[in-house]
Amino acid sequence: MDAPPEKEDCRPFVHFADLLQKQGVYVPKIYAQNIEQGFILLEDLGRVDFLTSLESAGEPDILYQSAIDVLIKIQQGDPDLAPKYDKTKLVEEMSLFNDWFIERHLGASLDTKSIDVWNLLQERLCLACLEQPQVWVHRDFHSRNLMVAENNNTGVIDFQDLVTGPISYDLASIFKDCYIKWPRQRQLSWLKQYHHKSNNESFSFDQLTQWYDLTGFQRHLKVLGIFCRLKYRDGKESYLKDLPRVANYCVEVMEIYSNSITEINEFHDLFLPFFRKVAM
């Protein structure tokens, strides 16, 4: 790993690599490090990630069952040992939707009414995130960051931004993956497997499903902004091809909850045309 200190701090990666390994999560072993210069010599987990395996006819149920097992291990971390995924951070992330997707990518601007509706939706999504059990959250627990390693182990990479946050966040990341789409019934089947395996009786499956959808909505609003920022600020054009999939996830949640959640209903009425411009 070559991470210039002026651009990236390696210390969180080293810190969480040690803690995750102690919890039985397969992460790269660190053989040597020079944090001052931003160099780390670490184990190579290979070139086959979940996405590559799935695209070459890999068996999704086997892979996703493994992902569930790994996630449960991650969620058993001590909440006090990771930064809090608080309201300030959640709102800061969602602001990328307006700044980079609405304004930069679509060239639009929000009027006063739209801004009010947008702010109310953010409040509602933050409430959904913060009312959940707070556990360790990888934050990018998806098919490109899970590796199919030797002996069918599932390796985890890119965990340096780990925080303590909503229990459904990584579930939405992996089952509503920004890089590969699964039918909703299959998503819910995997979500039910997680609910059973986690043996957490503090919430029902129906409650988990709503958290999963609303937390996924927060994440995908952020991702729409991030993918546009990667294109316009960083010159990474390839991320635009994934915008339709992410927009579709948002539209799906709006359609499911418009009749039961006022903030989503109002947002749906005003903002649906923006999503339709990029959705499939």
Angle among Cα 98, 104, 110 to the nearest 5 degrees reads 45
Structure tokens belonging to residue 98: 């307006």
pLDDT for 57 beyond 80 = no
Q: Which backbone phi and psi does 59 adopt, to 5 degrees?
A: -85, 110
Half-sphere exposure of 212 (CA within 13 A, CB side): 25
What is the predicted pLDDT for the residue at 150? 77
pTM: 0.96
Q: What is the pLDDT of residues 69-99, one digit of tens each?
A: 999 999 999 999 999 999 999 999 999 999 9
What average pLDDT does this structure show over 264-279?
96
Q: Residue 198's pLDDT band (boundaries 50, 70, 90)?
A: very high
Mean of pLDDT values over 23-48: 94
Q: What is the mean pLDDT of residues 28-32?
A: 96
- Mean per-residue pLDDT over the chain, rounded: 96
pLDDT (average), residues 199-216: 97
Task: Compute CA distances 255 → 64, 140, 167, 179, 260, whole Å.
Answer: 26, 25, 23, 22, 10
- Residue in the structure block whose two tokens are 């909703």: 184
250-253: long-range pairs with CB below 8 Å, 24+: 250/217, 250/220, 250/221, 250/224, 250/275, 251/275, 251/276, 251/279, 252/184, 253/213, 253/214, 253/216, 253/217
**Structure tokens given for 106:** 């679509």
The 10s digit of each residue's pLDDT in 147-174 is 998 777 899 999 999 999 999 999 999 9
State residue 183's pLDDT score. Answer: 97
Calpha distance 38→66 (Å, rounded): 32
Whether residue 280 has pLDDT greater than 80: no
Check residue 164 and give its pLDDT: 98
Predicted local distance difference test score (pLDDT) of residue 56: 87
Domains of the chain: 1-44 (3.30.200.20), 78-144+158-276 (3.90.1200.10)
CB 250 within 8 Å of CB 215: no
CB neighbours of 276 closer than 8 A, spacing ≥ 6? Answer: 251
What are the C-alpha distances in Å from 158 to residues 144, 145, 161, 233, 244? 9, 6, 8, 21, 24
88-126 burial string, b = 16+ CB within 10 Å, else e?
eebeebbebbbebbbebbeeeebeeebeebbeebbebbb
Which pLDDT score, from 0 to 100, does residue 216 have? 98
Considering only the C-alpha atoms of the chain, give the largest distance between any 2 of them, rounded to a whole number of Å: 56
Look at residue 58 and tell me whether its pLDDT is greater than 80.
Answer: no
Inter-residue contact 270 to 117 (CB < 8 Å): yes
